Amino acid sequence: MRYEDMDWAELELRSGLELVNITGGVVFLSRGGPTPSSDFTNSPGSNGVPYELLNSKEVNERWPGFKVPNGIDAVYTADTGIVHASTCVTAMQYQARANGVILKEKTRTEMAIHISKGSYRAKKVTLAADTWTNKLLGPLKSEIPVVTTMQEQVTYFKPSDPERYDPKSFPVWIWGGETVYYGFPTYGEPTIKAGRGVQQNVMHPDHHTFVPSQEQPKKLTRFMDSIIPGHGPELRTVTCQYTITPDRQFIIGPLAKYPDVILALGNGHAFKFVPAIGRVVAELAIDGKTTDDISKFPMSSPTGSRKL
């Protein structure tokens, strides 16, 4: 997440709250692995984002909480950070209400404009319904192809020396490879959070159990032993929901056959872009166009055939 993102800065200005906590971020990539560091650095390099390329010794010296083995490259970006999800959602809801939006919370949507608490007529409809998007698109004979919903989970560990993992001196991190792991410094409590990306615990959206897998924390703990040995014991594990398509790309824009219906699907990694995505769909709804280039976020199937 770039702190210079003007949409986050504007939300902070309007709300009077500090929503972005800069910690720095490290992406670990194994030499000879599926994603070499040279490929990864092409993205920040081509977009003018400052970064450092570090080896494992430099990482372990800069952040003693890590014990990264040899043969690992690390790409560090200083402007990476954390946003507190519930605080940010509350701030955005307040701003929406202050600007005349009526929020219908805990309301099941049965059709695009017919909901369980009444019916509404509107010139534009925006669907940001995550895994339930296709259910709402059904009456329009449209769908997002190849959508997978998974129950994910993250684990909180209680280190004996939480100050070592303070966000002022310990970064957000991602371990890239065939199996992806990620984690955070302490934030709001003396724990560190970590998880495995895309755990393939496929589920039906209406059957979310909220019961964590007993095996995943064991695998995660073994991995944490290898790079953050001071992580401490597992404190708790909580679940969340991922809805993804094969390319993990955003889907943002109007339906081809129904241009007054606008889609926004984040593919499991959109929260850090929420102010920008919200602004874009608002521009599409109000102005019929956006100042941002959203051509990279179309609706298509893996074969390239358009369904919407």
Predicted local confidence at residue 55, as pLDDT: 96
Predicted local confidence at residue 122, as pLDDT: 79
Q: What is the largest CA-CA distance in the chain?
A: 61
Mean pLDDT, the chain, whole residue set:
88
Among residues 291, 297, 264, which one has the least CA distance to residue 129? 264
Go through 205-221 and write b for each residue having 16 or more CB atoms within 10 A of its CB, e for each that does not: beeeeeebeeebbeebe
Per-residue CA distances from 238 to 180, 193, 196 (Å): 18, 10, 13
pTM, entire model: 0.86
Question: Hey, what long-range contacts does 90-96 have (CB within 8 A, 24 or more apart)?
Answer: 91/11, 91/15, 91/17, 91/19, 92/11, 92/274, 92/275, 92/278, 94/15, 95/11, 95/14, 95/15
The pairing of beta strand 118-119 with beta strand 114-115: antiparallel
- Enter the DSSP assignment of 48: T
Q: How far apart are CA 19 and CA 7, in angstroms?
A: 12
Three-state SS at 20: strand
pLDDT by residue for the chain (308 residues), tens digit each? 444 478 999 999 999 999 999 999 999 999 888 888 887 787 766 577 889 999 999 999 999 999 999 999 999 999 999 998 999 999 999 999 999 988 888 887 654 456 676 677 778 899 999 988 998 898 889 888 888 898 899 999 999 999 999 999 999 999 998 899 999 999 999 999 999 988 778 888 888 788 888 889 999 999 999 999 999 999 999 998 888 888 889 999 999 899 999 999 999 889 999 999 999 999 999 999 999 999 989 875 444 434 44
Backbone angles phi, psi at 38, to 5 degrees: -65, -35
Predicted local confidence at residue 58, as pLDDT: 98
Predicted local confidence at residue 304, as pLDDT: 41
Strand extents, DSSP E, 158-303: 172-176, 181-183, 192-196, 234-244, 251-254, 261-265
Strand partners, 67: none
DSSP 224-250: HHHH-TT--SEEEEEEEEEEE-TT---
Burial label for 306, CB within 10 Å (0-12, 13-18, 19+), is exposed
Q: Can you read off the two tokens belonging to residue 102?
A: 């009526």
DSSP 22-46: E--EEEEEETTSSS-HHHHHHHHHH
Backbone angles phi, psi at 257, to 5 degrees: -85, -20
